[in-house]
Amino acid sequence: MVDEALAYWVVEPGHGEIRPVALREPGADEVLVRTLRSAISRGTETLVFAGRVPPGQHAAMRAPFQEGEFPGPVKYGYLSVGVVELGPGELVGRTVFCLHPHQTSYVVPAAAVVPVPDGVPAERAVLAGTVETALNALWDAPPLLGDHVTVVGAGLVGCCVARLAVGVPGVRVTLVDTDPRRAEVAAALGVGFAGATDEVGRSDLVVHTSATEAGLRRALELVAPEGTVLDLSWYGDRPVSLPLGEAFHSSRLTLRSSQVGAVAPARRDSRSHRDRLALALELLRDPGFDVLLTDCSPFRELPAVLAKIAAGSMPGLCHSIDYSHENPDPEEA
């Protein structure tokens, strides 16, 4: 039994460090998980790192296994994949996903882990939380057969939305981003690409994920009359100004939000949070998502990595964290 683990903490805004964490023996309905990979949620975790979670959202933004409080010290994160080493017999040895912060090993209720399907590598399984966000968004505003869907913001969430949406028969998807390098990613996902000012035509559904005011304004410009703009971005403490005095009312546009904290109303009576996460993991059988796995760093480098991501000096999509140096596979030792 491992009696101590290591975890990443935001000690204060702009400063993180790795700290030891005591582990207890798992109870009858608990599991001990040895972490294989975790991933950084660039949008939310950089806001947490910078201390920009508004006080009124402290409760709403708590991660399931968060310790500490905003703005810090706080142990935060929710994209973890590992192997069950102790627990109920049917789970021991299984690779599982858990909404847990960055930590080398942890003890959680058995009900908090979801088995990763065979054929989904741990490296790809860290995308489950992001695919779950995209899935929930498309439950909130599902594209219809033959629709043109535009996704403004080719970050990780936007790319996951695009990959899922293009699987609907007859749906044409365009990713819009200011970075021309994302054209290659769009091509690998099987969707179109346009620059921020390129003509793409009006869309039945526009999904906004850029987390910028300019991006949301562009989304309103691109939606067809009586169409919907679905905003997945979270702006933290930043105010956003929109041109709602222009064609917004005469075009009868709909602007709505989507947030993964609650199952979309259309499926809330028939799907639990666990059902939704399990479906996201099943969708990750698709190797097309691998193009989103752009960077990986050892766990010990996480404090420096998150600081660089927050500063904008380490671009990319999914930056994952490798625990192999901290947690060598017992069978290979």
| Residue 286 pLDDT > 70 | yes
Domain-embedded: residue 39: yes
Note the pLDDT tens digit of each residue in 10-27. Answer: 999 999 999 999 999 999
b/e per residue 209-233 (b: at least 16 CB within 10 A)? bbbbeebbbbbbebbbeebbbbbbb
Residues 137 and 120 in one domain: no
Say whether both 27 and 123 belong to one domain. yes
Question: DSSP per residue over 190-241, as a string?
Answer: T-EEE-TTS----EEEEEE-S-SHHHHHHHHHHEEEEEEEEE----TT----
Query: Looking at the 3D structure of the chain, how many domains does it have?
Result: 2
Query: Cβ(72)–Cβ(3) under 8 Å?
Result: no
| Residues 53 and 121 placed together within one structural domain of the fold | yes
Banded pLDDT at 246 (limits 50, 70, 90): confident
| pLDDT (tens digit per residue) in 23-52 | 999 999 999 999 999 999 998 899 999 999
- Looking at residue 203, which CATH number applies to its domain? 3.40.50.720
- Are residues 119 and 137 both part of a single domain? no
pLDDT above 70 covers what percent of the chain?
A: 98
- Supply the pLDDT for residue 332: 56
Q: 68 and 44, same structural domain? A: yes
Within a domain: 276: no
Report whether pLDDT(183) > 60.
Answer: yes
Residues 155-174 have pLDDT tens digits of 999 999 999 999 999 999 99
Q: Once rounded to an integer, what is the mean pLDDT over residues 184-200?
A: 95
pLDDT attached to residue 247? 86
Domain range for 312 is 4-127+284-322
Question: Could you read off the pLDDT of 122-145 as tens digits, one per residue?
Answer: 999 999 999 999 999 999 999 999
Q: Do residues 191 and 308 share a domain?
A: no
> Looking at the domain assignment, is residue 332 inside a domain?
no
The answer to whether residue 331 sits within a structural domain is no
Query: In this structure, are 165 and 235 located in the same domain?
Result: yes
Q: What value does the mean pLDDT take over residues 213-228? A: 96
Helix ranges restricted to H, the chain:
42-49, 122-125, 128-140, 156-165, 182-189, 213-222, 273-283, 302-311
Split at pLDDT 50, 70, 90, the class of 234 is: confident
State residue 3's pLDDT score. Answer: 83
pLDDT class of 245 with cuts at 50, 70, 90 = confident
pLDDT band at 208 (very low <50, low <70, confident <90, very high): very high
Distance CA 126, CA 96 (A): 10
Mean pLDDT of 233-262: 90
pLDDT for 168 equals 96
Q: How confident is the model at residue 236 (pLDDT cuts 50, 70, 90)?
A: confident
Give me the pLDDT at residue 196, please: 87
Regarding whether 104 and 24 lie in a shared domain, the answer is yes
What pLDDT, on a 0 to 100 scale, did the predictor assign at position 235? Answer: 85
- Cβ–Cβ under 8 Å, residues 23 and 4: yes
- Between residues 3 and 131, which one has the greater pLDDT? 131
Instruction: Assess whether 206 and 238 both reside in one domain.
Output: yes
Same domain membership, residue 114 and residue 140: no
Whether 259 is covered by a domain: the verdict is yes
Is residue 333 domain-resident?
no
Q: What is the pLDDT of residues 76-104, one digit of tens each?
A: 999 999 999 999 999 999 999 999 999 99
Claim to verify: residue 206 and residue 162 sit in the same structural domain: yes
Domain identity same for 174 and 240: yes
Q: How far apart are CA 35 and CA 2, in angstroms?
A: 12
Residue 329 lies in a domain: no
pTM, two decimal places: 0.92
Computed over every residue of the chain, the mean pLDDT equals 95
Q: What is the CATH number of the domain that holds 315?
A: 3.90.180.10
HSE, CB side, 13 Å, CA atoms: give it for residue 215.
25
Task: Decide if 278 is inside a domain.
Answer: no
CA 327 to CA 333: how far, in whole Å? 10
Average pLDDT value for residue range 191-199: 94
* Confidence label for 212 from pLDDT (cuts 50, 70 and 90): very high
The pLDDT score that the predictor gives to residue 330 is 62
